[in-house]
Structure 1
Amino acid sequence: MTLPLDHQTVLVTGGCRGLGAAIARAFGREGARVAINYRRSRDMAETLAAEIGPNAVAFEADIRDADAVRAMAGAITETLGPITTVVHNALADYSFNGDERDTLATLDGAAIAHQVETAAIGALNVLRVTTDTMAADGFGRVVTIGSNLVQNPVVPYHDYTAAKSALLALTRTAAAELGPKGITVNMVSGGLLRVTDASAATPDAVFDMIAQNTPLRQVTTPEDLADAVLFFASPWARAVTGQNLIVDGGLVFG
């Protein structure tokens, strides 16, 4: 079974700014009903929903809190209809600044746990409250957001990259379990995006260096990555699951 994008109800976690906002706009552009999840930024989320149109609504929940996620899913279903599609984009607070990153000498376990709590445990909380309905309907699409740093840790952001590695593993094991129920689970992994809140502290020289090392000679934008997310949710990806698509202008091959 497949559903066109304009028949889908899409939950975008961390959907009110940066990449999440670009993903929400992309689904809205295609006619989907869009649930914009936010944790703190109510005004920003509601402004984005108004921009997208009447089929977009903002919903508050800290995805690390299983009860809050369950309540949010119920509110989305009541307002927009059953959730058919999940994009897990939420990111724990982070700044990509190589000069100020933790090294192995300064990193502690709490920093890794903090990242994993949003990336992997947050994903689990969302999957647990959405996939039963997807399975009953015989259709579901889950797209997680990863990082090309897992394949190419050009800057060793240990805590962030460890969490995205855990999310990639969960993406693949979830694909194996949910596939027989008609649910696909895939990941889209970007490189450094120009520009999001997380990359705002990145010096321009780093963006320029990355651009010169990609075959396309450009840094990926949030809009570039959002379109790849649409592919995995679309009917054209109906036979694709458990995959990690790297969208970074060709900086990382494979």
Structure 2
Amino acid sequence: MTRNISDLTVLITGAGRGLGAAIARSFAQQGAQVAINYRHSRDSAAALVAELGPRTAAFHADVTDPAQVSAMVAAITDRFGAPDVLVHNALADFSFNGDARKRLDQMHWADIAQQAQTAVGGALHCLHALQPHFAAQGFGRVILIGTNLMQNPVVPYHDYTAAKGALLALTRTAAKELGPLGVTVNMVSGGLLRSTDASAATPEAVFDIIAAQTPLGQVTTPAAMADAVLFFASPWARAVTGQNLIVDGGLVFN
């Protein structure tokens, strides 16, 4: 089964700002109904809804809490119908600042667990809430947001990268299990994005160094990442599942 993007209802976690907001804009521009999940970014989520119009709405939930996720999905279903697409973009509090990062000898399991709770736990909770709908209609699209730091840990953010590595594993195992239901599960992995709240602490010189190392000579933007997410939800990706697409201007060849 394939569906046009304009026929889809899309849930985007962590969509009140940054990359999530860019993804919401891309889906809205293609006519989809867009559910904007936020945890703390209430005002920016409301502003995004006002910008994008009546086929969008904001829904509060902490994705680490399965009860909140279930309540959010119920509210989305009341408003738009059950989501056909999950884009799991939510990120635990994090700042891409290489100088301020914890070194390995300062790292504790709790640091990794905190990142994994949102990256992996949040994805799992959303899948639990959405799988019955996917199964009932024989269709679903799941896009998880990863990182090219797994292929090229140019800055060793141990906690963040470990959690995204676990999320990639879940991408592949979920693709195997959900495929018979008509559900595809894929990951889009960006490099350092210019710019989001998480990358705001990155010195401008670092952006310039990365841009110089890419074949395209530029740092990836949230809008460019959003284009790749849109592809996995589109009819053109109907036979693609369990894959990790790196979107970083060619910094990493995979």
Give the TM-score of the pair, scaled to structure 1: 0.99
Q: Give matches, 1:165-176, under 5 Å.
A: 165-176=165-176
Q: Are 1:194 and 2:183 matched, yes or no? A: no
**Unpaired runs of 5+ in structure 1?**
none
Counterpart of 1:238 in structure 2: which amino acid?
Answer: R
Counterpart of 1:58 in structure 2: which amino acid?
Answer: A
* RMSD (Å), alpha carbons: 0.5
CA distance in 1, matches of 2:109, 2:82: 38
Q: Are 1:161 and 2:161 matched, yes or no? A: yes
CA distance in 1, matches of 2:28, 2:242: 25
CA distance in 2, matches of 1:182, 1:174: 12
Number of aligned residues: 254
Percent of aligned pairs with the same amino acid: 67
Q: Give matches, 1:111-150, under 5 Å.
A: 111-150=111-150
CA distance in 2, matches of 1:244, 1:91: 18
Quote how far apart the aligned CAs of 1:102 are.
0.5
State the SS of the aligned residue for 2:215. Answer: coil
Tell me whether 39-48 or 67-76 shows the greater mean CA deviation.
Answer: 39-48
CA distance in 2, matches of 1:183, 1:20: 22
The aligned residue for residue 238 of structure 2 is 238
CA distance in 2, matches of 1:104, 1:227: 35
The aligned residue for residue 102 of structure 2 is 102
The aligned residue for residue 84 of structure 2 is 84
Counterpart of 2:188 in structure 1: which amino acid?
Answer: V
Quote how far apart the aligned CAs of 1:176 are.
0.3
State the SS of the aligned residue for 1:159. Answer: helix
Q: Give matches, 1:15-94, under 5 Å.
A: 15-94=15-94
Q: What do the CA deviations read for 1:6-64 (whole angstroms, capped 9, x no partner)? A: 00000000001000000000000000000000001111111101111100000000000
The aligned residue for residue 207 of structure 2 is 207
Counterpart of 1:157 in structure 2: which amino acid?
Answer: Y
Q: What do the CA deviations read for 1:88-123 (whole angstroms, capped 9, x no partner)? A: 000000000000100111111111000000000010
Q: What do the CA deviations read for 1:160-179 (whole angstroms, capped 9, x no partner)? A: 00000010000110000000
User: Runs (4+) of structure 1 moved beyond 4 Å?
Assistant: none
CA distance in 2, matches of 1:132, 1:161: 31
State the SS of the aligned residue for 1:149. Answer: helix
Give the TM-score of the pair, scaled to structure 2: 0.99
CA distance in 2, matches of 1:40, 1:101: 23
Counterpart of 2:162 in structure 1: which amino acid?
Answer: A
Counterpart of 2:52 in structure 1: which amino acid?
Answer: I
Q: What do the CA deviations read for 1:184-223 (whole angstroms, capped 9, x no partner)? A: 0000000000000000000011000000000000000000
State the SS of the aligned residue for 1:116. Answer: helix
State the SS of the aligned residue for 2:57. Answer: strand
The aligned residue for residue 9 of structure 1 is 9
Counterpart of 2:234 in structure 1: which amino acid?
Answer: S
Tell me whether 39-48 or 203-212 shows the greater mean CA deviation.
Answer: 39-48
